[in-house]
Amino acid sequence: MASKSKDEGKKHEKEIKIGEKPFSEGQGKEAKMEELCPEKGGNAKAEDFVGELNDLKKKLEEMERIVEQLKEENRLLREAAARTAADFYNYKNRIEREAEQTRRRMAASMAESLLPVLDNFDRALESQDPVDATALKKGVEMVRSQFYGVLEQFGVETIEAKGKTFDPLLHEAVAVEETSEAPDGTVLEEFQRGFLIDGKVLRASKVKVAKRSEETSENGGNGR
């Protein structure tokens, strides 16, 4: 009886040992390899991290290079702008000085040309000899002619007005007269002479302009 119980216990013990086997033989080898080399999976992740870090480092270096390049370009642009501003300032001052010098030279030249005219007036006034109206008129005409000659030297010329057709660009109508003796719009009289300088109006002539009378218009321009 006792021998039979002992045999049953051994049989049960074998069944328990066989059931406790949790994995196959191959799985056991892999588990042992992971236990022996736990750093195998971590090395791959570390290498990836180092690679990404190197890429970021290269990108950062490239960005720093671009920033330095932009700084240098900005410096060159600011220097060029400063030079341009200085050149413009110097050019502006030079032009203003030259314009002022030209104005002074022209004024001096005109004054020098007018001095003989003034001398003739002075001599006429200082003369003790009695003169008649004819001689006085002749003297004034001579001085006037001399004065106009000076104006011509500086490009100044008179505007023709009397007998010409009214031109609003050259003439200023200050009076109008109805008449049948002249065509409509004809300058009848000049009150103040006009002048041109280098072809441009310096002063317009002040004139009286003819206007066709109503009687002339009604008779078809025959004056009857």
Per DSSP, the residues of 121-136 read: HHHHHH--S---HHHH
Q: With b meaning 16 or more CB within 10 Å and e meaning fewer, what string describes 130-162? A: eeeeeeeeebeeebeeebeebbeeeebeebebe
Residue 223's pLDDT band (cuts 50, 70, 90): very low
pTM, full prediction: 0.50
For residue 212, what are the contacts with CB-CB under 8 A and spacing of at least 6? 178, 179, 180, 183, 184, 221
Residue 10 confidence (pLDDT): 53
Residue 174 confidence (pLDDT): 96
Residue 66 confidence (pLDDT): 94
- Top pLDDT among 183 and 26 is at 183
Identity of the residue numbered 152 = E
Residue 124 confidence (pLDDT): 74
Q: Provide the residue ranges of all domains of the chain, joining segments of one domain with +.
A: 89-154, 156-217
Distance CA 93, CA 149 (A): 35
Residue 128 confidence (pLDDT): 59
Return the number of other C-beta atoms located less than 10 Å from residue 204's C-beta: 19
- Top pLDDT among 19 and 159 is at 159
Cα–Cα distances in angstroms (integers) from residue 40 to residues 5, 11, 26, 34, in the given order: 52, 43, 19, 8
Residue 212's pLDDT band (cuts 50, 70, 90): confident
Identity of the residue numbered 135 = A
Residue 208 has pLDDT above 90, yes or no: yes
Q: Tell me phi and psi for residue 203, to 5 degrees.
A: -155, 130
CATH code of 156-217, in short, is 2.30.22.10
Distance CA 214, CA 107 (A): 52
